[in-house]
Amino acid sequence: MVDVSRSAEHRVWCGRWARTAKLVGSGIGLVALAACGQQNAYVPPPPPKVVVAQPLQEKVPLYAELTGNLRSVAEVKLEARVQGFLEQIKYVDGATVKKGDLLFVIQQNTYQAQLAQAKAALESNQATQQNAQVEFTRQQTLAQQQFASQSRLDDARTKLAEANANVLSAQANLDIANINLGYTEVTAPFDGVASRHLISIGALVGYSGPTELASVVQIDPIWVYFQVSELVVQRVKDQLQRQGKSLRDVHDVPVEIGLQTEQGYPHKGVIDYIAPQLDASTGTLEVRGVFDNKDYALLPGMFARVRIPIERPAPVLMVPDIAIGTSQTGRYVLVINKDNVVEQRTVTIGQLDNQMRVIESGLKPEDWVVTDGIQRAIPGGKVEPDKQKMVAAAGG
């Protein structure tokens, strides 16, 4: 359709320049007249350039992605088992402690006195035992020579037995006194991190039962617990069977985790426990993984993203994750046909692996996917493709 108003303006403009050219006869006027005699023609711009590549075909593991919870390997409450005043706190709250480190000292003088008393009682009973032994030996010799009656020998034997029993009792009391004195020093039961102290120096502890003083948590290594469906268990079992192993060899099954603020799954560990039976109410199995945690980056109570690699039987198609778009109909990629016309192809995506997204369906190995210049590729429009080889994206 011709723009009438625009043509009218053009005729008026050319008429003015024609009159001017007659008056001045200048070169400018001749150029203007020549321009008025030409027709305006639309020249379409060249097709935009885009980079395209065929999907990458690789055999990558199939991952079961789950949610887990981190727990400490060991956690112990440190309690005062004897009564007394708390005299010393030998650590700093939150410090890393080693097995056997002294953490608390409870009033010791009472238990030291009890220990001394028990030692004295033992020595007294041992002296009585020695005297009873001598008397029994003498009466036994006299009885053999017919110079002592049987009743005196029996009496000596009874006193010796009583002395032996008193020695054993005194020894037990001494052991108890030693144990109670040992309870006045509270030490770390294993390597870990000590919590803040709950009782201050000078407070009476253990007067109505054990008093909690603090706790020690072992977080290196650390556990992650998660629930696995029956289907995943069967896949892991099949994978182990192909390797000539069984579920008893769970320590050979790797597991990876990542925290909510981390990219990917940077922490590597192995499964060390699988529950012996499924939970009938949920149809899941409890599984535990163990991870080194020397830098204490993982803390008990944290939630973690968990994934278990499962062997995939055949190669899959992969494209850069940035090449995938989202519309009301779902996920899609842009491909070019044999005429270099852009088409929008709906796809079903799978897991993300090093910034490469697995395409489960909707794409063929021979398709050319737009990987760069996506904003210039409009469905239905023609483009100038720069065909390149797909390269796995780097990253974690």
Evaluate if residue 301 carries a pLDDT over 80.
yes
Q: Which residue has the tokens 């020579």?
A: 145
Evaluate if residue 107 carries a pLDDT over 90.
yes
Read off the tokens for 302. Answer: 């944290």
Smallest CA-to-CA distance from 120 within 174, 175, 172 is with 174
Query: What percentage of the chain exceeds 70 in pLDDT?
Result: 85
The amino acid at residue 236 is V
What is the signed CA dihedral for 280, 284, 290, 293, rounded to 10 degrees?
-110
pLDDT in tens, 276-295: 888 888 888 899 999 999 99
Prior bond to 47 cis, omega within 30?
Answer: no
Q: CA 175 → CA 117, 170, 192, 340, 347, distances in Å?
A: 12, 9, 30, 92, 76
pLDDT in tens, 23-74: 454 444 444 545 555 556 777 788 899 999 999 888 877 788 899 999 999 9
CB neighbours (10 Å) of residue 93? 10
pLDDT in tens, 373-383: 889 999 999 99
- Residues 46 and 395: their CA atoms lie apart, in Å, by 36
- Residues 341 and 370: their CA atoms lie apart, in Å, by 11
pLDDT in tens, 2-21: 444 445 555 554 555 455 55
Provide the 8-state DSSP code for 380. T
Phi, psi of 382 (to 5 degrees): -95, 145
pLDDT in tens, 324-361: 999 888 999 999 999 999 999 999 998 887 788 889 88
pLDDT at residue 2 in the model: 44
Separation of CA 204 from chain center = 41
How large is the average pLDDT for residues 255-270?
92
Average per-residue pLDDT in the chain?
85
How large is the average pLDDT for residues 82-88?
95
Contact 394, 354 (CB under 8 A): yes
Angle at Cα 297 formed by Cα 357 and Cα 77, nearest 5°? 135
Which residue did the predictor score with more confidence, 247 or 34? 247
Evaluate if residue 300 carries a pLDDT over 80.
yes
Evaluate if residue 226 carries a pLDDT over 80.
yes
Smallest CA-to-CA distance from 247 within 216, 276, 218 is with 276
Which residue did the predictor score with more confidence, 246 or 316? 316
Helix (H) or strand (E) holding 204: strand 204-205
pLDDT in tens, 196-213: 999 999 999 998 888 999
pTM of the model: 0.65
